[in-house]
Amino acid sequence: IQPEKSRRRVLLKLSGEVIGGGKLGVDPETVRAIAKQIAAAVSDVEVAIVVGGGNFFRGAELSQSGMDRSRADYMGMLGTVMNCLALQDFLEQAGVETRVQSAITMGQVAEAYIPRRAIRHMEKGRVVIFGAGAGLPYFSTDTVAAQRALEVHADVVLMAKSGVDGVYTSDPKKDPTAEKLDVLSYDDALRRDIRVMDQTAMTMCKDNNLSMVVFGMEGEGNVTRAIRGETLGTLVTP
């Protein structure tokens, strides 16, 4: 039996692109700004975060260059942990208590992934940052965002995007007639091949009745607003 939650609980997905400010590695000023926005919302909402790693390595790309895919994927997962530590640092500087939980054990820098403990942290007002993806090659951090959200009983997945403020009928960078959608179903997204997150992740959300909000990082206070549940971006529904 799932105990009653007293507060809203959200799972925020931050891609490596967001953490790196579009460049290789961590962009400290970008992470500081995100951390401040998260700090502004945590008194009212429980927050868990899944961090991507594409600003360091993507396994699929490395394997294109001849590396063994699984080993390359582990490099990708290790990259996410560096992003977690950067985010943890700036969140703590902003006065937020945090815990990093890693799917690959590395006790010196992170707790192991223990879902019930993650929930307990959130109940105490701590932000939990999930690193190392699922700990499994051939997965993406989008899929992990869906899985972690389900396992810790988050109310919604918040997908932060850079360079776009929601889901459009077609690519707004290429098509001037593209229109932003306020609401979209997973079925529509899958049928129309709209890549708001990978298909495995979308299917998981759809099958388990979990909604998602796709929103842009760029607007003033957008991360805070998304965490608080204000209407912005595109709502994707089961």
Which positions lie near ligand UDP, rule CB under 6 A? 15-17, 52-54, 58-60, 73, 76-77, 80, 133-134, 136-137, 139-142, 144
**Is 14 annotated as a binding-site member?**
yes
Smallest distance from ligand UDP to CB 188, Å? 23
Angle between helices 69-93 and 28-39 (to 10 degrees): 60
Is 229 or 236 the residue whose CB approaches ligand UDP more closely? 236
Smallest distance from ligand UDP to CB 67, Å? 10
**Is 133 annotated as a binding-site member?**
no
How large is the greatest C-alpha to C-alpha distance in the chain, in angstroms? Answer: 51
**Is 171 annotated as a binding-site member?**
yes
Smallest distance from ligand UDP to CB 65, Å? 13
Is 71 or 173 the residue whose CB approaches ligand UDP more closely? 71
**Is 52 annotated as a binding-site member?**
no
Read off the amino acid at residue 183.
V
Is 9 or 148 the residue whose CB approaches ligand UDP more closely? 148
| Residue whose entry in the numeric block shows the structure tokens 């699929």 | 60
**Is 154 annotated as a binding-site member?**
no
Is 162 or 169 the residue whose CB approaches ligand UDP more closely? 162
Torsion sign, CA atoms 99, 105, 107, 112? positive
Smallest distance from ligand UDP to CB 140, Å? 4
Is 123 or 151 the residue whose CB approaches ligand UDP more closely? 151
Contact by Cβ (8 Å): 152, 115 = yes
**Is 237 annotated as a binding-site member?**
no
Smallest distance from ligand UDP to CB 95, Å? 27
**Is 146 annotated as a binding-site member?**
no
Binding site, annotated residues = 13-16, 53-54, 58, 73, 134-141, 168, 171
Binding site, annotated residues for UMP = 53, 73, 134-141
